[in-house]
């Protein structure tokens, strides 16, 4: 007899973009286990996302760390999971460490992919999906293999009503020039500055720059370049890099006319709140990680990419001339933004 799932924990991917792309599969799980309590366990960097996702009953912030640090901090995660009294754990991560912590937490049912030598730690496994088109399909293929019917491939994030947006009044466009994977994913800051100047002068929109603390330097450079070129413009530029919580970032993205972004977590969040997205792809594959939409009536993302022989290379640094990115001009982005 199959055990009844009453208290289910889903372990989230560790990266923001991957966490957003896992939301369709999480919605599938919510529908299938409609009578169970659903908790999402996630790293501190992404845990706040799931407090804005419909259908999640509780969010457990894992105290340990990901990557190689998990080799020494997994006991903290196991203890936190053990305290939750879960009867079932579903693992979106493929790592051995994620299977180890749910096993040591004493969770009876442990489901996930048979990867990374962890089959013996899991009670129910699925083979790694093959031939999937998009990363969201990968997560949905996982839950389908575990007996969960797939629904639509949409990602929905709600704006917390208590969080006021730090964005300026009036119409504005958001620019997200960062990308965690590496510089090969990043459109040149000079081009972002050109778009900022064009938006302020020709659209009379303010510009908001967003990103992590690691993006503060490039955002500062973009702001300085744009400000010098639009002296006297009534529209302004606001740099919020490193100054927003995840909930505040969602509020900013939701209030924007549009978001211009590299392939990044901000890009995925913008799609999930229903804001029009202009996504610039270079080293990475837009067919694999393009932003999802919030629902059937949401605007489709505008994807900008160049047809050059070397992309998508999936490299962190370009070994030649970054032609995949320099081939996209500021006017191309402005046209994609519309009026």
Structure confidence at residue 234 (pLDDT)? 56
Whether residues 194 and 48 fall in one domain: no
pTM here is 0.94
Structure confidence at residue 182 (pLDDT)? 78
Structure confidence at residue 68 (pLDDT)? 64
Structure confidence at residue 338 (pLDDT)? 86
**Range of lowest pLDDT (152-166, 216-230, 250-264):** 152-166
What is the domain extent for residue 265?
172-337
Structure confidence at residue 71 (pLDDT)? 63
Whether residues 62 and 178 fall in one domain: no
C-alpha 294/C-alpha 306 separation (Å) is 26
Does residue 164 sit within a domain?
Answer: no
Q: What digits encode the pLDDT tens for the residues 87-135?
A: 999 999 999 989 999 999 999 999 999 988 899 999 999 988 888 889 9
Residue 12 phi, psi dihedral angles, 5° rounding: -85, 155
Whether residues 29 and 99 fall in one domain: yes
C-alpha 199/C-alpha 235 separation (Å) is 9
Task: Residue 238: give its domain's CATH number.
Answer: 3.40.50.2000
pLDDT higher than 80, residue 272 = yes
Whether residues 196 and 63 fall in one domain: no
Q: What digits encode the pLDDT tens for the residues 130-167?
A: 888 899 999 999 999 999 999 999 999 999 886 667 88
pLDDT higher than 90, residue 339 = no
Whether residues 178 and 141 fall in one domain: no
Q: What digits encode the pLDDT tens for the residues 45-98?
A: 999 999 999 999 999 999 987 666 666 778 899 999 999 999 999 999 999 989
pLDDT higher than 60, residue 264 = yes
Whether residues 113 and 181 fall in one domain: no
Does residue 152 sit within a domain?
Answer: no
Whether residues 314 and 179 fall in one domain: yes
How crowded is residue 279: how many other Cβ atoms within 10 Å of its Cβ?
Answer: 25
CA–chain centroid gap for 255, Å, is 18
Whether residues 89 and 183 fall in one domain: no
Domain boundary among 145, 164, 190: 145
Whether residues 324 and 184 fall in one domain: yes
Whether residues 332 and 199 fall in one domain: yes
Q: What digits encode the pLDDT tens for the residues 162-196?
A: 666 788 888 999 999 987 777 889 999 999 999 99
CA–chain centroid gap for 328, Å, is 23
Does residue 156 sit within a domain?
Answer: no
Domain boundary among 90, 110, 145: 145
Mean pLDDT, range 259-280, rounded to an integer = 97
Whether residues 24 and 137 fall in one domain: yes
Q: State both tokens at 262.
A: 């590299």
Does residue 111 sit within a domain?
Answer: yes
Residues with Cβ within 8 Å of residue 116, at least 6 apart in sequence: 94, 95, 96, 99
Structure confidence at residue 74 (pLDDT)? 84
Does residue 12 sit within a domain?
Answer: yes
Domain boundary among 129, 145, 161: 145
Mean pLDDT, range 29-52, rounded to an integer = 97
Does residue 301 sit within a domain?
Answer: yes
Structure confidence at residue 258 (pLDDT)? 97
Total count of domains within the chain: 2
Does residue 150 sit within a domain?
Answer: no
Whether residues 198 and 117 fall in one domain: no
Mean pLDDT, range 260-279, rounded to an integer = 97
């Amino acid at each position: 007899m199959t055990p009844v799932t009453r208290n289910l924990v889903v372990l989230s991917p560790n990266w923001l973009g991957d966490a957003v792309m896992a939301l369709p599969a999480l919605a599938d799980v919510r529908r299938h286990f409609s009578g169970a309590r659903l908790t999402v366990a996630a790293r501190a960097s992404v845990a706040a996302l799931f407090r804005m996702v419909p259908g999640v009953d509780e969010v457990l912030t894992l105290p340990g760390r990901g990557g190689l640090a998990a080799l020494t901090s997994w006991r903290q995660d196991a203890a936190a999971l053990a305290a939750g009294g879960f009867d079932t754990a579903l693992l979106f991560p493929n790592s051995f460490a994620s299977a180890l912590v749910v096993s040591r937490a004493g969770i009876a049912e442990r489901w996930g992919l048979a990867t990374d030598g962890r089959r013996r730690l899991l009670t129910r496994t699925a083979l790694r999906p093959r031939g999937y088109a998009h990363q969201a399909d990968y997560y949905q293929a996982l839950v389908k293999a575990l007996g969960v019917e797939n629904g639509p491939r949409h990602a929905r994030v709600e704006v917390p009503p208590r969080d006021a947006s730090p964005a300026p009044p009036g119409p504005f466009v958001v620019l997200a020039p960062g990308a965690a994977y590496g510089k090969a994913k990043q459109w040149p800051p000079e081009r972002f500055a050109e778009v900022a100047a064009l938006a302020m002068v020709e659209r009379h929109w303010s510009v908001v720059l967003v990103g992590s603390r690691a993006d503060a330097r490039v955002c500062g450079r973009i702001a300085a370049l744009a400000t010098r070129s639009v002296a006297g413009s009534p529209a302004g530029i606001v740099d919020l890099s490193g100054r927003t919580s995840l909930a505040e970032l969602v509020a900013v993205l939701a209030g924007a006319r549009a978001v211009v972004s590299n392939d990044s977590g901000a890009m995925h969040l913008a799609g999930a709140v229903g804001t029009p997205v202009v996504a610039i792809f270079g080293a990475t594959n837009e067919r694999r990680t393009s932003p999802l939409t919030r629902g059937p009536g949401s605007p489709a993302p505008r994807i900008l990419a160049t047809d050059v022989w070397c992309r998508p290379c999936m490299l962190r640094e370009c070994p030649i001339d970054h032609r995949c990115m320099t081939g996209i001009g500021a006017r191309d982005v402005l046209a994609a933004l519309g009026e």
